[in-house]
């Protein structure tokens, strides 16, 4: 089976750090692949809070839901390793967009993983997907490019 590559965005919007916890380590004594999505979601929440939203799902009366996720595990990380998690946005459409994450070891810069998530905005009162809010689109659109 051919290996799929998660392409990185042109620029990253946000960087945070994450220390590999004991609960992140698997039986082989390194970061478990199943923990990559949780680490990405932690970075997502930190980014959203930096944008001024107090809750992970509160954007102009709409919430974020994940429609799809991909992970690529590229190198091992061990308990106590400090990771650099970079987050960027791409493929901003009418009702969906992607966050892409590059996870690297802080000390060496070795890339540990890439994660891509496709997200939708959802109106929980109407129980339907809604358009990406203009304010959010402006906050994550690549600089110098007009939002679609």
The domain segmentation of the chain, as residue ranges, is 14-140
pLDDT of residue 148: 42
Residues 6+ positions from 23 with CB-CB distance below 8 Å = none
Band the pLDDT of 142: cuts 50, 70, 90: low
Separation in Å, CA 1 to CA 4, 5, 8: 9, 13, 22
Q: Per residue in 8-47, pLDDT tens?
A: 998 999 999 999 999 999 999 999 999 999 999 999 999 9
Buried b / exposed e over 26-38, threshold 16 CB at 10 Å, is: eeeebbbeebbbe
86: which strand partners? 15, 102
pLDDT of residue 143: 57
Q: Is the pLDDT score of 79 beyond 90?
A: yes
Alpha-carbon distance of 91 to 141, in angstroms, equals 9
User: Domain 14-140 has what CATH class?
Assistant: alpha beta
């Amino acid at each position: 089976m051919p290996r799929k590559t998660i392409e990185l965005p042109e620029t990253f919007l946000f960087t945070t750090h994450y220390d590999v916890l004991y609960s992140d380590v698997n039986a082989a004594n390194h970061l478990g692949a199943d923990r990559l999505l949780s680490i990405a979601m932690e970075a997502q929440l930190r980014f959203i809070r930096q944008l001024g939203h107090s809750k992970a799902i509160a954007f102009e009366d709409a919430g974020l839901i994940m429609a799809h996720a991909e992970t690529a595990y590229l190198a091992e990380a061990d308990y106590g390793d400090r990771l650099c998690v970079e987050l960027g946005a791409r493929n901003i459409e009418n009702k969906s967009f992607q966050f892409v994450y590059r996870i690297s070891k802080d000390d060496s810069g070795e890339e540990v993983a890439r994660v891509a998530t496709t997200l939708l905005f959802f109106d929980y009162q109407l129980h339907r997907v809604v358009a990406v809010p203009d304010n959010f689109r402006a906050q994550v659109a690549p600089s110098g490019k007009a939002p679609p």
